[in-house]
Amino acid sequence: MIYLQDSKIQVTSSQDVAKVFQDLLLLEDATGQEKEHYYVMHLDAQSRIKLVELVSMGTLTSSLVHPRETFRRTVIAGTASIIVAHNHPSGEVEPSDEDTKVTRVLHDAGNILGIALLDHIIFAKGKCFSFKENREHTITGRRAHVRRNLGLGT
C-alpha cells in the first residue's frame, strides 16, 4: 500500500519522521494497530518524501522484513535513500536483537544498490527509537566502531 506519494515533505529529524509513521498507523482501526507494521519511506536527493510504502503487516509480536521487499520499489521509483520503520504494539520501543540484525542487513543491501538506509525507526504511541541517533545500536554495526578506532570517522 502506498501513502504520501509525491508529498515533498522535507525530512528534518527522526521525531518528525516517527510522527509521519505514527499518523499513518492511526489510519488503521484498533485491531489493525495491534499488529506490527513495517514501512519504507522513499526520499529524493533533497530528502523530501517521494512516497511511504507499507511493505509488511505482521502479528502482535513480529513482521516479516527482507531486503528484497524493502528495496523492490526503490529502484523503479528512482529513490535516493530510505528510512524504514516499524511499530511495536507492546508500546516498548527498545530494539530487539533481531531488529538490530535486520537493520545491519538492510544497511549492507542498500550499500550494494547505492540506496542509503538513513535510519530505522521503531515507534509506539508517543515515543520512538532511532538507530541513527542511538550509538549503542548503530546502523552500520561493528564496522563503525572499528573505523572510529582507526581514526577514519563513521
Question: What's the pLDDT score for residue 60?
Answer: 74
Phi, psi of 26 (to 5 degrees): -65, -15
Check pLDDT > 80 for residue 117: yes
- Residue 88, Cα to own-chain centre: how many angstroms? 13
Dihedral sign, Cα of residue 24, residue 66, residue 71, residue 153: positive
Domain boundaries in the chain? 2-149
Residues 27, 1: Cα–Cα separation, whole Å: 12
* Architecture of the domain spanning 2-149: 3-Layer(aba) Sandwich (3.40)
| Amino acid type, 49 | I
Reported as a single tens digit per residue, the pLDDT across 124-139 is: 999 999 999 985 446 6
* Long-range pairs for 24-29: beta carbons < 8 A, 24 or more residues apart: 24/52, 24/54, 25/87, 25/123
Burial class from Cβ neighbours inside 10 Å (0-12, 13-18, 19+) for residue 67 reads: middle
pTM across the whole model: 0.84
